[in-house]
Amino acid sequence: MTLSTETRAELVEIAGRYPQKRSGLLPMLHLVQSSEGRITPEGITACAEILEISPADVSGVATFYTMYKRKPVGDYHVGVCTNTLCAVMGGDEIFATLKDHLDVGNDETTDDGKITLEHVECNAACDYAPVMMVNWEFMDNQTPESAVRLVDDLRAGTEVHSTRGPRLCTWREAERVLAGFADGLAGEGPSAGPSSLVGLGIARERGWTAPDPEQSDLAAPADPEVDAAPAVPTDADSGSDKHQAAAEADDDVAEAAEVEQDSPTDETAAEKKEAD
Ligand code: FES
């Protein structure tokens, strides 16, 4: 299947956004996914022609990043974080529950073409563990029960909102946004959630400020408890620690050598005993 004239024109448009057009490859591949539902051989060829690179170069990128799919994805890509923190907080259980409920394995799509289930790595949202992603929008603090409700709602066509973002669109629509074509939903929903802002609140309360990039030392916190804490070693400190540790290690070696010299070996002790 060949790409539509419109898609090809948009691929050219993306390439034109960058001083070096090959920098446009990642968003171009997202556009191919949006248009074709996956990375197709035709999409690879088109990107290669437009960027004047080889299809192998394009293929190498498309097969390296897990966000690029070589087989069709359902209307909703449902990712369950099973990285360390989410896994122990219930991510493994959620993933196992969804596999049973949807009757699919990892990276497989339901028979109705609605849901593709995949276990994903840390989404830097550990403060909301266990986390799921639907078309790369956050669904925070999930449980096996809420996860089942979520996929049932998606399959039924019920409008679902991300816990920290807009209403969920389809995977193809989300891929178009990742290609750099805004859908007008960026302002919808909350952005950073309360758990992510706790540190900022504490810093404001205590008058802490970000380190001045012009100075090498960290800004001194105003909190006496923190003042009492051991100082963070600088590179210079750790360098001198290293030298000191090395000097101590040298002393140990010297002492060990001295002890060895003073102590008779098994052989000389035996000879002495025989002489006695
Ligand atoms: S471990 Fe799941 S978001 Fe970090």
- pLDDT, greater one: 261 or 159: 159
Distance CA(164)–CA(202), nearest Å, equals 22
d(CA 197, CA 178): 26
What confidence tens digit (pLDDT) does each residue in 140-165 have? 999 999 999 999 999 999 999 999 88
Ligand 1 mean position to 248 CA, how many Å?
42
The pLDDT of residue 212:
84
Does the pLDDT value for residue 18 go beyond 60?
A: yes
145 conformational bin, left if phi > 0, alpha if psi -120 to 50, beta if neither: alpha
pLDDT at residue 1, rounded to an integer: 65
Q: What is the pLDDT of residue 165?
A: 84
pLDDT at 219 over 90: no
**Cβ < 6 A, ligand 1 pocket:** 81, 83-86, 122-123, 125-126, 129, 131
Mean pLDDT of the chain, nearest integer: 84
CB 131 within 8 A of CB 86: yes
Amino acid letter, residue 18: Y
Å from CA of 244 to ligand 1 middle? 39
Atom of ligand 1 nearest to the CA of 81: 2
- Cα distances (Å, whole numbers) of residue 238 to 116, 165, 214, 231, 234: 49, 43, 21, 12, 6
Cβ-Cβ contacts under 8 Å for 178 (sequence gap 6 or more): 27, 30, 34, 67, 136
**The pLDDT of residue 106:** 97
Task: Give the model's pLDDT for residue 214.
Answer: 81
Q: What's the rounded Cα separation, in Å, for the pair 76 and 116? A: 6
- 246 — pLDDT class (breaks 50, 70, 90): very low
Q: Is the pLDDT of residue 230 over 70?
A: no
Confidence grade of residue 218 (pLDDT, cut at 50, 70, 90): low
For the CA of 125, the nearest atom of ligand 1: 3
- The CA-CA-CA angle for residues 62, 68, 72, to 5°, reads 120
Atom of ligand 1 nearest to the CA of 129: 2
